[in-house]
Amino acid sequence: MNYNKSKIHQTNAIYNTFIIKYDSVSEIISAQQRIKKECNVGTDEENNKPCDRLIFGDDCNDTNFYRNCLIADKYLTHLKDNSSELNINVACKYFSYWTYKEMLSDNKHSYSVRKLHEIIIQSKPVHICKDYVEDITTETFKNIDNLNKLYQNFMEILRVDDKYTCNQAKICVDLYKSLEKTCYSNSDDLFCKGIEKFREAYNKTMETKEICKEYKILQPSPKHSERSSNTIPVVAITAISFASIMTYKVNKCYS
């Protein structure tokens, strides 16, 4: 399968960032909550101001869409004002994921992520994410969401008491098994590596627990033969970028 080499290099860099930060999740989550609070301050008041129809057109009639535009604008401004302290590449990848999830996935608006970004910055030219914003397809979003759910439930296992661990472990095991057909034989795709990284972390954690024996060890996913050059599209490489952002928990200004 032919992948764009520069794209692979960029994605590997983001994935490595996630691995480096993995042990500092609690600190990252705490920072995320502070940023989220800052970004939401005053948004409801601003939402009551007249929407600029020269920029947003008929989308001004959708109050939820307009409110999300205001939050996105404040998020970009936050990145610009704090760029020396942040991984801008990662933070902007999250911007792409979030805008698709909250503003475009329902298909009520026909923008691409890039086009929506262009519209949002018309009112306040903040170009901090210009080189990092990426369009997302439905398939990409599904891959992102699945990986995110894996890691989010794994985080719950790390947080909860043993009394509740088995419930979270069952969720992790069921979701992991639902992704078994995602990867093909000898795949070096980073989306598949993200799943394998989860399996390794899960097994290492569960080894220390005396309970949940039926959910203790996740076996490697059975790999399927590559059926065509399009079996795992380039979209999977993009997906791990966003999925690592979600796990990394960097600058999640809104959810």
pLDDT at 46: 62
pLDDT at 219: 87
Scan for tokens 């960032």, then name that residue.
17
- Burial class of 57 by CB neighbour count within 10 A (0 to 12, 13 to 18, 19+): exposed
- Burial class of 53 by CB neighbour count within 10 A (0 to 12, 13 to 18, 19+): exposed
pLDDT at 224: 60
Q: Which has more confidence, 111 or 140?
A: 111
Average pLDDT, the chain: 72
The residue-averaged pLDDT of 106-131 equals 91
pLDDT category of residue 192 using cuts at 50, 70 and 90: confident
pLDDT category of residue 226 using cuts at 50, 70 and 90: low
Closest C-alpha to 20, from 84, 87, 92, 97: 87
The residue-averaged pLDDT of 5-15 equals 38
User: Is the pLDDT confidence value at 252 over 80?
Assistant: no
pLDDT at 225: 57
Q: How far apart are the first and last CA of the chain?
A: 35
Question: Do 103 and 63 form a contact (C-beta atoms < 8 A)?
Answer: no
DSSP letter string over the chain? ----HHHHHHHHHHHHHHHHHGGGHHHHHHHHHHHHHHHHTTHHHHHTSPP-HHHHGGGGG-HHHHHHHHHHHHHHHHHHHTGGGS-HHHHHHHHHHHHIIIIITTSSS---HHHHHHHHTTSS---TTTTT-----HHHHHHHHHHHHHHHHHHHHHHS-HHHHHHHHHHHHHHHHHTGGG-BTT---HHHHHHHHHHHHHHHHHTT-SS-GGGS-PPPPPPB---STTSS-THHHHHHHHHHHHHHT------
Over residues 141-191, the pLDDT tens digits come to 887 778 878 888 888 877 767 667 788 889 999 999 888 777 765 555 667
Question: Do 168 and 153 form a contact (C-beta atoms < 8 A)?
Answer: yes
pLDDT at 151: 80
Could you write out the three-class secondary structure of 233-248? CCHHHHHHHHHHHHHH
In the chain, the percentage of residues whose pLDDT exceeds 70 is 65
pLDDT category of residue 119 using cuts at 50, 70 and 90: very high
Q: Which has more confidence, 212 or 41?
A: 212
* Alpha carbon distance 226, 230 (integer Å): 9
pLDDT category of residue 104 using cuts at 50, 70 and 90: very high
* Alpha carbon distance 71, 40 (integer Å): 7
Over residues 15-47, the pLDDT tens digits come to 333 333 333 333 443 454 566 567 766 666 666
**Ranges 83-97, 101-115, 204-218, 226-240: which has the least confidence:** 226-240
pLDDT at 7: 38
User: Is the pLDDT confidence value at 96 over 70?
Assistant: yes
CB atoms within 10 A of CB 86: 19
